[in-house]
Chains A and B, each alone.
Chain A
């Protein structure tokens, strides 16, 4: 049976570098005995003196950390900003790309709603966890080995300051938002008469869906002008934008999904009939692009709205080397 002091010293020494162990062993024991003696002289009973001395010395693991000069943190203040920037960048850019690619592949493979959502959630959890783990692991090793610390250290300069947009709504974006629907409408009308011998898109839709689409696109352009005159993003804008996006995207996706989008007479697509797989693949890829594009737009406008609501100025994309 070992006594309390032995147990304490052994526990502390386990986590101390080997070459220092003998010396610390002797010194620590002497210090403990000195403290116990002082307590006994002051009138305490020996067993009680040992107990209170060890309690005062505290957790032997912490003592060992102090002796070994080990830091009791995973990533210190020097590396933390770089760790945070890298991780947020990865989670904000690489993770969505991986998830979107996964969703598109799943759509092509088997467009079952449950499988698509399940796959996306699984991808977010597993890929996100892996990213967080490996980035943290590498930084913890850098912290301990001390290598690359000076190279990684970020020297902040004035160039790292981001620029902010003078107005919340940049003119160029409004112009693009008006020109794009106009071009689409022109394309839709022109493809009926020119471009190819047979129209590319299903002429059967001129009875309702193509006129509907033109109206929806015009509304999109009107929305941009309204937004510009309103002069700011907010919740109303987010909702109106989402409605505006959905009234265009949902019927389009439905048309594509049910095979009513492309003209069945159109040579290239009709010729694909023999290879039905490719036709299906094209259809699904188109659906994937439409869904992703609409989702990105709705999220982008909503994020801007929330930022503006909190009074945060809009950062000009691509400026500012630091912070995401």
Chain B
């Protein structure tokens, strides 16, 4: 395996799960599939459409998102919104994220790999 392939494999491992947190946070204001894809892309989350759309339905099935069809415009769109439960879970996940971040920061200082 080349170094690039190794790196991208580890990056993928590390990023897995961040899309869920990001989606739950963004969808506190209702949004539809493509709008979320755009928002996440602009925010620097590398996510593919074919991963995101099925993920939204899974999160809905888990009760973390709720959805509603909006037919006011010419093109009907399915709008997703984070539920209270989804918000709570997103909060816990964010706390865990910051805990891991500071834990890794602590590791770097104690081992002296950072000044």
Of A20, A26, A30, A38, chain B has the most CB atoms within 10 Å of the CB of A30
24 contacts between A and B (CB under 8 A): A24-B57, A26-B69, A26-B76, A26-B78, A30-B32, A30-B33, A30-B34, A30-B75, A30-B77, A31-B32, A31-B34, A31-B37, A33-B75, A34-B33, A34-B35, A35-B34, A38-B38, A57-B49, A58-B48, A66-B50, A66-B51, A66-B53, A66-B54, A69-B58
For residues 55 through 85 of chain B, which have their beta carbon under 8 Å from a beta carbon of chain A? Answer: 57-58, 69, 75-78
Chain A residue contacts of B49, Cβ below 8 A: 31, 35, 56-57
Give CA–CA (A67, B58) in the complex, Å: 8
Interface size counted on chain B using CB atoms at 8 A: 19
Interface size counted on chain A using CB atoms at 8 A: 20
Would A27 and B33 be within 8 Å (CB), given that A33-B75, A67-B57, A69-B58 are in contact? yes
State the Cβ distance, A245 to closest chain B Cβ, in Å. 47
Chain B residue contacts of A57, Cβ below 8 A: 49-50
Give A53's nearest chain B residue, CB to CB: B49
Is A28 close to B, CB under 8 A? yes
Give CA–CA (A26, B77) in the complex, Å: 8
**Cβ B50 vs Cβ A63 within 8 A:** yes
- Smallest CB-CB A-B distances: 3 pairs: A34-B34, A66-B54, A31-B33
Is A7 close to B, CB under 8 A? no
Chain B residue contacts of A35, Cβ below 8 A: 34, 37, 49
Q: A: which residues have CB within 8 A of B?
A: 20, 23-24, 26-28, 30-31, 33-35, 38, 56-58, 62-63, 66-67, 69
Give B36's nearest chain A residue, CB to CB: A31
Contact of A58 among B50, B57, B77 (CB under 8 A): B50
**Cβ A31 vs Cβ B58 within 8 A:** no
Of B33, B38, B48, B54, chain A has the most CB atoms within 10 Å of the CB of B54
Chain A residue contacts of B51, Cβ below 8 A: 66
Chain A residue contacts of B53, Cβ below 8 A: 27-28, 31, 63, 66-67
Of A20, A34, A56, chain B has the most CB atoms within 10 Å of the CB of A34
Chain A residue contacts of B78, Cβ below 8 A: 23, 26-27, 30
Chain B residue contacts of A31, Cβ below 8 A: 32-34, 37, 49, 53
Give CA–CA (A40, B113) in the complex, Å: 49
Give CA–CA (A63, B53) in the complex, Å: 9
State the Cβ distance, B101 to closest chain A Cβ, in Å. 29
Chain B residue contacts of A56, Cβ below 8 A: 48-49
Chain A residue contacts of B37, Cβ below 8 A: 31, 35
Chain A residue contacts of B38, Cβ below 8 A: 38
Chain B residue contacts of A26, Cβ below 8 A: 69, 76, 78
Give CA–CA (A56, B34) in the complex, Å: 13
